[in-house]
């Protein structure tokens, strides 16, 4: 299956199909449904320096072709991850990439430092785009300056592959991608969720305890695809495309727009085996189009 | 857990808003082990506005016919569309999901309290208790006579008491007003239904120092522990009601309402 | 039906339900389906100083719960509108509001000037957010400075009700709303379409002749609603909420979030009679909730 | 134009990918005037991914039964879901939409050329010509025998010639290869089908100085002139193919490929 191999900086993935942070737990949640070892990579749950309870219930609202969430990075902290979870998942025969979140620059740095030594975690994804925490989170991802600062600080302490996950809630995502590239990010992943809101007209109350939350799912795909295309035209580092992918065709569209790999998020909830179908669908596409390698479609949109 | 296509064997309206849907694996493979309190996630593929799956309890398992029953109440677009599916059509389910009611180890008086469509898992639970050789008593509540479902099925498994808000069947009032609660004491209570009802049941159980489990109906996105959307605040912190639940011992719950 | 009346600045609307520019032609297209005179207002097609051919075919792509368009303001110019179209529609017993678009600041000013004298056009909507034209358009709506400039210039020549239509493709829409409020806009309408993109994986080509286009429909509702809420908390002028409205419940949600009126766009294509159903649904809601006037729900989200 | 619920009277598969769906107004009101070349916009309410309506030509109008026929080819999710609708169910349509083929005022030789599902409007047009007392000849093309639809219906209205790409029915080749075009001359040609076919027909018509109208299948969002998405570049500028079309005289078209 060499024809599916792609590289994210120094990091080789056996195929471009990965699963998005916060939608795939630590992988084990899907072990009954799919062969985890076939995935290009698993982006595990957002991990913070200290444990976080997350936000109050309700944390979810269905929307047209999508959903809002305000989970708020519920997790047991990086130490718990290293001591209790990592030993169980390090045996997977796929790449494990930790999504690092935080409220302060120091949080990001400390959390990243601790992950550097994990031999089976070859990369981290810096989440500077979570709309669901009060401090930090998305704020880091909405100006070039703050995005550059956090990237620089983490780059100083983390030598393995550094992926920075961008927020779509900005006027010019390409400029932010450029800023983090300039500070040494090996890759950018995009997009995180769009800040959205849902209201129950009958009760006149917000549907989320936090009023606003992050929108994901097929509804956002057209915007995410446009952003990948804009970033592809602005940076040289590889892009990991995210946003509403629900089929092999979607994944291929993201690759044509310039993604080297893709993440599947929300659609895993609808079809827990979707990632396998996307891998098979890409293989089939390559055969039908007589292409030797998946790299032949990256950025090959004919405009 | 698996994702599987089921063939709808029958879909029968029980009243103005509830359907009983009987399904069997499309590939005819025998159904795996399933436990009372567990649920399935139904894919609603025939609607323009439903995106997420819908959680529905396992109402009954008929091993002889390799059939699973779902009792569905039409409250919105998703449940309405599920009820439109006709015999012969396919329903894609993720199942079995969640923990289950704890099955006692010895004989005793067990009361199963269901309100509205919350009676659904009680049928399966009653059957399991019967199979273990334990008797079950059922206390079913609804707004009116027509809202009390599957009475004859329940009667096959044990004594049935009813309350209706309008008094059209059984005693008038809420389940917790029923005289059976005043006149008897139980070894364990199981409950499923609207939250205010379950909270009243929990108060009764606490007052009477009776063990009690409740099945929650939190909003769910995935149903199998991946999204952390369905959390319930408990004495053990935020737990997933889809994997740590939907059944919780009332002692763990921190319900404020 | 006084209970449905709302005011946009000096302008009274008989009810808050209006139809969005570019999705409702000049109204006549819907005359077979609905009683146009029952509408709160009709926002007619985007009008420019000079005639515009619009973009090449294909101009449309379906997306999950929405669509992309790149019509590109095809219209016969403001003079044609005044001479040939206005006489036919001035008899409607509803408000006619012209959507003014342009490529340069001068275009906006000149076009607005010519519309000032039309007795039956009590307001214009300044479209500084069209993503489908090469120059101007959205660019005016993505910085506070440019949005303020164009508002100021038009305000100088246009004395009737001036509504400025905002772009959602920005980091901070509330700041832009504030900027146009400060320059004398009587109202802001939001949102225009999101810049998006669609690709045909099989042909590897973009689905739109212009590569990118504007995303509209129910898919954008959660983001639009959040933006209305943010703007409501930042400005004092009335807001006209737009984005994916497809039911009375949707319209009420927008009003609870702070909209004084709403525009229905794309959903008119699916159900050409939706506007009437929304009016009826709001009336029914007021009755069920025992409210005297629709103004009792504006901004009344309980947070 | 109106938006109206229709009841599906029958839905019959004609081959592996085409269904003939007969519908009648749910309220039983008589169908309004409709003209060949006009189309309807079908609401696809049973799909999770179809948002816009789908344009489908009026295949036939049976006044006696107050019935309209739609001939649908399953090419994607929308047409697939339309074909899943069963007798008794409801189909919401906006209709009648678009202009129509121009009906001649005097006798002559009229050739109606349809390719694939593009034969759909030709049946209705052939009938209208017959009603006017004019004869019609039909030239139908498809990939293979099974792709040529409703032959017996067409034969009732006039001579039928066929071409198939594999030669399994009629002459082998494309419609424009058919000997009838070499051996006869026509007063007017009507055509509907894949664009390359219609362009070949247009070239033939131009070469032979025969008048010709073609029905285009541009992508549509609204179908009634409100969105300006369906434009066709013509000698008169950008025209809406849903209101100024779908039928255009080939002299107006500026087809480049
Ligand atoms: C573990 C579990 C088991 C369940 N078992 C059954 C069952 O056996 N039979 C049955 O009919 N229903 C059952 N439900 C409830 C059922 O899932 C909801 O009624 C359904 O999801 C509503 O979807 P809808 O599209 O019809 O309504 P929507 O349009 O989504 O909502 C309509 C109304 O229902 C409420 N609602 C939506 N989702 C839920 C939910 N997950 N739980 C409770 N209320 C909700 C909404 O707030 C709204 O007021 C169960 C729920 C859970 C979590
Ligand atoms: C005026 C008019 C009359 C038509 N009459 C008929 C008819 O009588 N019977 C019939 O079967 N079809 C007819 N069509 C074509 C039909 O509308 C399309 O096949 C249908 O919209 C495709 O929808 P889908 O969801 O099945 O496919 P999609 O998944 O949307 O697309 C599948 C393929 O079909 C193409 N396609 C999509 N929409 C159109 C469209 N509007 N026109 C042409 N190709 C399209 C796509 O590019 C793609 O290659 C007509 C189209 C028009 C504009
Ligand atoms: C329930 C949920 C939780 C999420 N948690 C995280 C997270 O912890 N860290 C993160 O970077 N992104 C998180 N995301 C965002 C996803 O990783 C992804 O960027 C987004 O959902 C868009 O992709 P999709 O449309 O395929 O879901 C979460 C998304 C969802 C739906
Ligand atoms: C086909 C189409 C054409 C549009 N043309 C214009 C326009 O000319 N001027 C403008 O301000 N907005 C235009 N819009 C944007 C709409 O007015 C509206 O802001 C947007 O579609 C979001 O609302 P909706 O989701 O209800 O459609 C257009 C939208 C569509 C779909
Ligand atoms: S519903 Fe996703 S974790 Fe429970
Ligand atoms: S399809 Fe909307 S104008 Fe033709």
Domain ranges of chain C: 2-54+70-194+216-297
User: What is the sign of the dihedral through the CA atoms of C197, A123, A234 and C147?
Assistant: positive
- In this prediction, residue D172 has a pLDDT band, given cuts at 50, 70 and 90, of very high
Please tell me the number of the ligand nearest to residue C227's CA.
4
Q: Find chain B residues with C-beta within 8 A of C266's C-beta.
A: none
Q: At D141, is the secondary structure helix, strand, or coil?
A: strand
Q: Which of B89, B91, B27 is nearest to B56 (CA)?
A: B91
Quote the pTM value. 0.97
Q: Is the ipTM of this complex over 0.90?
A: yes
Q: Is residue B177 part of a domain?
A: yes
Peptide bond into B96 cis (omega under 30): yes
- In this prediction, residue A130 has a pLDDT band, given cuts at 50, 70 and 90, of confident
Query: Do the chains contact at C65 and A68, CB–CB below 8 Å?
Result: no
Q: What is the token pair recorded at A295?
A: 């790299």
Would you say the CB of residue D94 lies under 6 angstroms from ligand 6? no
Residues D115 and D210 in one domain: yes
Cα of A221 to nearest chain D Cα, Å: 13
Please tell me the number of the ligand nearest to residue A57's CA.
5
The whole domain housing B80 covers: 2-97
Query: Do the chains contact at B224 and A69, CB–CB below 8 Å?
Result: no
Q: Which of C242, C241, C245, C215 is nearest to C66 (CA)?
A: C215
Q: Is residue D104 part of a domain?
A: no
- The closest residue, in CA terms, to atom 19 on ligand 2 is D75
Residues B82 and B165 in one domain: no
Residues D160 and D197 in one domain: yes
Residues B228 and B204 in one domain: no
- The closest residue, in CA terms, to atom 1 on ligand 4 is D227
Partner A contacted by B35 (CB < 8 A) = no
Q: Which of A204, A176, A201, A203 is nearest to A189 (CA)?
A: A176
Q: Which residues of A are catalytic?
A: 130
* CATH number, residue D13: 2.40.30.10
- Please calculate the CA angle A110-A112-A115 and round it to the nearest 5 degrees: 115
pLDDT above 70 for C1: no
Residue C166 CA to residue C188 CA, distance in Å, equals 7
Residues B147 and B160 in one domain: yes
Would you say the CB of residue A102 lies under 6 angstroms from ligand 3? no
Residue D16, number of CB atoms within 10 A of its CB: 8
Residue A81 CA to residue A98 CA, distance in Å, equals 10
| Sequence-separated (6 or more) residues with CB below 8 Å from residue A255 | A16, A241, A262, A294, A297, A298, A299
Please tell me the number of the ligand nearest to residue D238's CA.
6
Would you say the CB of residue B76 lies under 6 angstroms from ligand 1? yes
Q: What is the token pair recorded at D236?
A: 């008169």
Last residue of a domain, one of D97, D124, D152: D97
- The closest residue, in CA terms, to atom 3 on ligand 3 is A22
Interface of chain A toward chain D, CB-CB under 8 angstroms: 65, 218
Residue C56 gets which letter from DSSP?
A: P
Q: Is residue B102 part of a domain?
A: no
Query: Tokens 């202009």, residue?
Result: D99
Ligand 6 probe mutation, D41, D240, D244, D247, most atoms within 8 A of CB = D240
Query: pLDDT > 70: what percent of chain B?
Result: 99
* CATH number, residue D189: 3.40.50.80
Q: Which of D34, D40, D50, D158 is nearest to D101 (CA)?
A: D34
Q: At A85, is the secondary structure helix, strand, or coil?
A: helix
Residue A6 CA to residue A279 CA, distance in Å, equals 13
Q: Exposed, middle or buried: residue A291 (CB in 10 Å: 0-12, 13-18, 19+)?
A: middle
pLDDT above 80 for D257: no
Cα of B53 to nearest chain A Cα, Å: 6
pLDDT, position A136: 62
Residue A71 CA to residue A53 CA, distance in Å, equals 9
Q: What are the pLDDT digits (tens) for B83-132?
A: 999 999 999 999 999 999 999 999 999 999 999 999 999 999 999 999 99
Q: Find chain D residues with C-beta within 8 A of C64's C-beta.
A: 49, 51
Partner A contacted by B45 (CB < 8 A) = no
Residue B217, number of CB atoms within 10 A of its CB: 19
Residue C83 gets which letter from DSSP?
A: I
Residue A87 CA to residue A119 CA, distance in Å, equals 11
pLDDT, position C134: 65
- Ligand 1 centroid–CA A271 distance in Å is 19
Q: At D45, is the secondary structure helix, strand, or coil?
A: coil
| Sequence-separated (6 or more) residues with CB below 8 Å from residue C232 | C239, C257, C258, C259, C299
Q: At A174, is the secondary structure helix, strand, or coil?
A: helix
Q: What are the pLDDT digits (tens) for B172-225?
A: 999 999 999 999 899 999 999 999 999 999 999 999 999 999 999 999 999 999
Residue C80 CA to residue C85 CA, distance in Å, equals 7
Average pLDDT over residues A11-35: 97
Total tally of structural domains belonging to chain B: 3
Q: What are the pLDDT digits (tens) for C220-265?
A: 999 999 999 999 999 999 999 999 999 999 999 999 999 999 999 9
Residue in chain B closest to A34 (alpha carbons) equals B2
pLDDT above 80 for A133: no
D45 → closest Cβ in B45, B48, B51: B48
- Ligand 4 centroid–CA C22 distance in Å is 5
pLDDT above 70 for C135: no
Residue C165 CA to residue C191 CA, distance in Å, equals 7
- Please calculate the CA angle B11-B13-B14 and round it to the nearest 5 degrees: 125
Alpha helices in D21-175 (DSSP H): 77-82, 120-131, 151-155
Query: Tokens 């494990």, residue?
Result: A96
* CATH number, residue D230: 2.10.240.10
Q: Are C199 and A225 in contact (CB under 8 A)?
A: yes
Q: What are the pLDDT digits (tens) for C183-226?
A: 999 999 999 999 999 999 999 999 999 999 999 999 999 999 99
Q: Exposed, middle or buried: residue B47 (CB in 10 Å: 0-12, 13-18, 19+)?
A: middle
Residue in chain A closest to B224 (alpha carbons) equals A29
Q: What are the pLDDT digits (tens) for A37-78?
A: 999 999 999 999 999 999 999 999 999 999 999 999 999 999
Average pLDDT over residues B33-56: 97
Peptide bond into A98 cis (omega under 30): no
pLDDT above 50 for D226: yes
Residue A17 CA to residue A13 CA, distance in Å, equals 9
Residues D25 and D71 in one domain: yes
- Ligand 2 centroid–CA A303 distance in Å is 24
Q: Which chains touch D (3 or more CB pairs under 8 A)?
A: A, B, C
Residue D30, number of CB atoms within 10 A of its CB: 7
DSSP B78-139: HHHHHHT--TT-EEEEEEEES--PPPPSS---EEEEEEGGGGHHHHHHHHHHHHTT--EEEE
pLDDT, position A139: 79
- Ligand 3 centroid–CA A221 distance in Å is 13
Residue B19 CA to residue B73 CA, distance in Å, equals 7
pLDDT above 80 for C133: no
Q: What is the token pair recorded at C105?
A: 């600041």
Q: Is residue B47 part of a domain?
A: yes
Q: Is residue B103 part of a domain?
A: no
Asked which of B229-233, C90-94, C199-203, D212-216 is least confident by mean pLDDT, the reply is: C90-94
Alpha helices in chain B (DSSP H): 77-83, 120-131, 151-155, 179-183, 195-207
**Residue B40, beta-bridge partner list:** B56
Q: Are A139 and A146 in contact (CB under 8 A)?
A: yes
Q: Which of A115, A112, A122 is nearest to A150 (CA)?
A: A112
Residues D175 and D83 in one domain: no
Higher pLDDT, C137 or A91: A91
Q: What is the token pair recorded at A255?
A: 């690759």
Cα of D228 to nearest chain A Cα, Å: 21
pLDDT, position C136: 62
Q: Exposed, middle or buried: residue A39 (CB in 10 Å: 0-12, 13-18, 19+)?
A: buried
Last residue of a domain, one of D74, D97, D120: D97
User: What is the sign of the dihedral through the CA atoms of C33, C38, C39 and C42?
Assistant: positive
Query: Do the chains contact at A63 and B51, CB–CB below 8 Å?
Result: yes
Q: What is the token pair recorded at D88?
A: 């008794």
Question: In the CATH hierarchy, which fold is given to the domain comprising A2-54+70-194+216-297?
Answer: TIM Barrel (3.20.20)
Residue in chain C closest to A288 (alpha carbons) equals C202
- In this prediction, residue A135 has a pLDDT band, given cuts at 50, 70 and 90, of low
Report phi then psi at A241, rounded to 5: -85, 135
pLDDT, position A134: 65
Q: b or e along D87-97 (b: 16 or more beta carbons within 10 Å of the residue's beta carbon)?
A: eeeebbbbbbb
Residue B84 CA to residue A283 CA, distance in Å, equals 37
pLDDT above 70 for A275: yes
pLDDT above 80 for C137: no
Residues B141 and B197 in one domain: yes
pLDDT, position C130: 78
CA dist B169 to B138, B141, B160, B161, B190, Å? 14, 9, 12, 10, 22
Query: Do the chains contact at D51 and B51, CB–CB below 8 Å?
Result: no
Atom of ligand 6 nearest to the CA of D231: 4
pLDDT, position A131: 75
Q: Is residue B105 part of a domain?
A: no
Atom of ligand 5 nearest to the CA of B220: 1
- Ligand 4 centroid–CA C2 distance in Å is 29
Q: Which residues of C are catalytic?
A: 130
Q: What is the token pair recorded at A176?
A: 């932010």
Q: Is residue D207 part of a domain?
A: yes
Q: What are the pLDDT digits (tens) for C33-81?
A: 999 999 999 999 999 999 999 999 999 999 999 999 999 999 999 999 9
Would you say the CB of residue A103 lies under 6 angstroms from ligand 3? no
pLDDT, position A1: 60
Q: Find chain D residues with C-beta within 8 A of C66's C-beta.
A: 51
Residue D11 CA to residue A3 CA, distance in Å, equals 45
Q: What is the token pair recorded at C161?
A: 């009700």
- Ligand 4 centroid–CA C242 distance in Å is 9
Residues B238 and B257 in one domain: yes
Q: Is B225 left (phi over 0), alpha (psi -120 to 50) or beta?
A: left
- Please calculate the CA angle A162-A163-A165 and round it to the nearest 5 degrees: 145
User: Torsion angle, CA of D118/D120/D122/D125, rounded to 10 degrees?
Assistant: -140
pLDDT, position D236: 92
Residues B33 and B83 in one domain: yes
End-to-end CA distance of chain A: 30
Q: Are C38 and C264 in contact (CB under 8 A)?
A: no
CA dist A61 to A207, B51, C248, D67, Å? 6, 11, 19, 43
């Amino acid at each position: 299956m060499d024809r599916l191999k792609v590289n994210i900086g120094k990091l080789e993935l056996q195929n471009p199909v990965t699963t998005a942070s916060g939608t795939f737990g630590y992988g084990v949640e899907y072990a009954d449904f799919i062969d985890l070892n076939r995935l290009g990579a698993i982006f595990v749950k957002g991990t913070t320096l200290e444990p976080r309870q997350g936000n109050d219930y309700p944390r979810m609202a269905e929307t047209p072709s999508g959903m809002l969430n305000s989970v708020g990075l519920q997790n047991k902290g990086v130490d718990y991850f290293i001591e209790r979870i990592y030993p169980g998942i390090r045996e997977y025969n796929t790449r494990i990439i930790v999504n690092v979140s935080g409220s302060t620059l120091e949080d990001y740095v400390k959390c990243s430092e601790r992950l550097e030594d994990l031999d089976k975690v070859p990369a981290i994804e810096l989440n500077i785009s979570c709309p669901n925490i009060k401090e930090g989170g998305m704020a880091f991802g909405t100006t070039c300056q703050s995005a550059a600062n956090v990237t620089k600080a983490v780059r100083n302490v983390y030598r393995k592959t550094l992926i920075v996950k961008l927020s779509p809630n900005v006027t010019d995502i390409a400029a932010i991608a450029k800023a983090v590239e300039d500070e040494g990010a090996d890759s950018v992943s995009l997009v995180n969720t769009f800040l959205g809101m849902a209201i129950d007209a009958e009760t006149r109350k917000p549907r989320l305890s936090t009023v606003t939350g992050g929108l994901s799912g097929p509804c956002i795909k057209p915007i995410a695809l446009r952003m990948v295309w804009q970033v592809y035209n602005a940076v040289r580092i590889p892009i990991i495309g995210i946003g509403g992918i629900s089929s092999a065709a979607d994944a291929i569209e993201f690759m044509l727009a310039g993604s080297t790999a893709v993440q599947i998020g929300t659609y895993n909830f609808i079809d827990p085996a979707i990632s396998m179908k996307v891998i098979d669908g890409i293989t089939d596409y390559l055969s039908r189009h007589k292409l030797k390698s998946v790299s032949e479609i990256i950025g090959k949109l004919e405009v | 857990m698996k994702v599987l296509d089921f063939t709808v064997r029958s879909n029968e309206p029980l009243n103005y808003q509830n359907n009983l849907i009987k399904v069997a694996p499309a590939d005819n493979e025998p159904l795996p082990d399933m436990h009372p309190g567990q649920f399935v996630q139904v894919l609603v593929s025939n609607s323009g506005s439903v995106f997420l799956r819908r959680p529905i309890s396992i109402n009954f398992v008929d091993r002889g016919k390799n059939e699973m029953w779902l009792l569905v109440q039409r409250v919105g677009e998703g449940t309405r569309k599920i009820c439109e599916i006709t015999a012969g059509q396919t329903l894609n389910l993720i199942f079995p999901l969640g923990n289950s009611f704890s099955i006692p180890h010895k004989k005793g008086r067990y009361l199963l309290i269901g309100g509205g469509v919350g009676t659904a898992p009680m049928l399966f639970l009653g059957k399991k208790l019967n199979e273990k050789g334990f008797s079950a008593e059922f206390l079913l509540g609804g707004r009116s006579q027509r809202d009390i479902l599957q009475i004859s099925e329940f009667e096959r498994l044990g004594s049935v008491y009813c309350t209706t808000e309008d008094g059209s069947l059984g005693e008038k009032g809420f389940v917790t007003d029923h005289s059976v609660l005043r006149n008897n004491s139980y070894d364990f209570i199981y409950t499923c239904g609207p939250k205010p009802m379950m909270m009243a049941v929990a108060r009764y159980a606490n007052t009477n120092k009776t063990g009690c489990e409740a099945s929650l109906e939190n909003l769910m996105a995935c149903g199998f522990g991946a999204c952390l959307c369905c959390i319930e605040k408990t004495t053990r912190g935020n737990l997933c009601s889809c994997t740590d639940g939907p059944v919780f011992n009332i002692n763990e719950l921190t319900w404020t309402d």
